[in-house]
Amino acid sequence: MSSKRIGSRTVRLENKPTIISAAAVVGPKEGEGPLKEYFDIIIDNDLYGEKSWEFAESKMVETAMRKAVDKCGKKLEDVNYLIGGDLINQLLPSSFAARELSIPFFGIYGACSTMAEGMCLSSMLIDGGFADLILSGTSSHYCTAERQFRYPLELGNQKPMTAQWTVTGAGSVLIAPNAKGPRIKYITVGKVIDKGISDGNNMGAAMAPAAIDTIYAYFNDTKDDPNSFDLIATGDLGKLGKQITEDFLNKKGIDISDVYTDCGVEIFDLEAQDVHCGGSGCGCSASVFAGYIYKKLLKKEFNKVMLVSTGALLSPTSTLQKQTIPCVAHAIVIVNEE
3-state secondary structure of 99: helix
Is the model's pLDDT at 1 over the cut of 60? no
> Angle 78-79-83 (CA atoms, 0-180°, nearest 5)?
170
Can you tell me the distance from the alpha carbon of 218 to that of 53, in angstroms, rounded to the nearest whole number?
Answer: 38
Residues with Cβ within 8 Å of 152's Cβ and at least 6 positions away in sequence, in order, are: 146
State the Cα angle at 46 between 21 and 107, rounded to 5°: 50
Q: What is the pLDDT of residues 98-142, one digit of tens each?
A: 999 999 999 999 999 999 999 999 999 999 999 999 999 999 999
Distance of alpha carbon 81 from alpha carbon 255, whole angstroms: 38
Nearest to 306 by CA among 263, 250, 251, 277: 263
- Region of 268 (left: φ > 0; alpha: ψ -120 to 50; beta: rest) is beta
Give 278-288 pLDDT, tens digit per residue: 999 999 999 99
Global pTM value: 0.97
Strand 183-188 with 169-177, pairing: unpaired
Query: Which domains are assigned to the chain?
Result: 5-177 (3.40.47.40), 183-335 (3.40.47.40)
Residues 149-200: pLDDT tens digits? 987 777 778 888 899 999 999 999 999 999 999 999 999 999 999 999 999 9
Among the listed residues 192, 227, 239, the one whose alpha carbon sits nearest the alpha carbon of residue 213:
192
Phi, psi of 216 (to 5 degrees): -60, -40
Query: Taking 70 as the threshold, does the pLDDT of residue 338 lie above it?
Result: no
Using a pLDDT cut of 90, give the percent of the chain over it: 94
Instruction: State whether residue 123 is helix, strand or coil.
Output: helix
- Which segments of the chain does DSSP mark as H helices, in order? 53-71, 92-101, 114-127, 142-149, 203-222, 238-251, 263-266, 282-287, 294-298, 316-320
Q: Which of 139, 145, 143 is nearest to 171 (CA)?
A: 139
- The closest alpha carbon to 169, from 147, 138, 145, belongs to 138
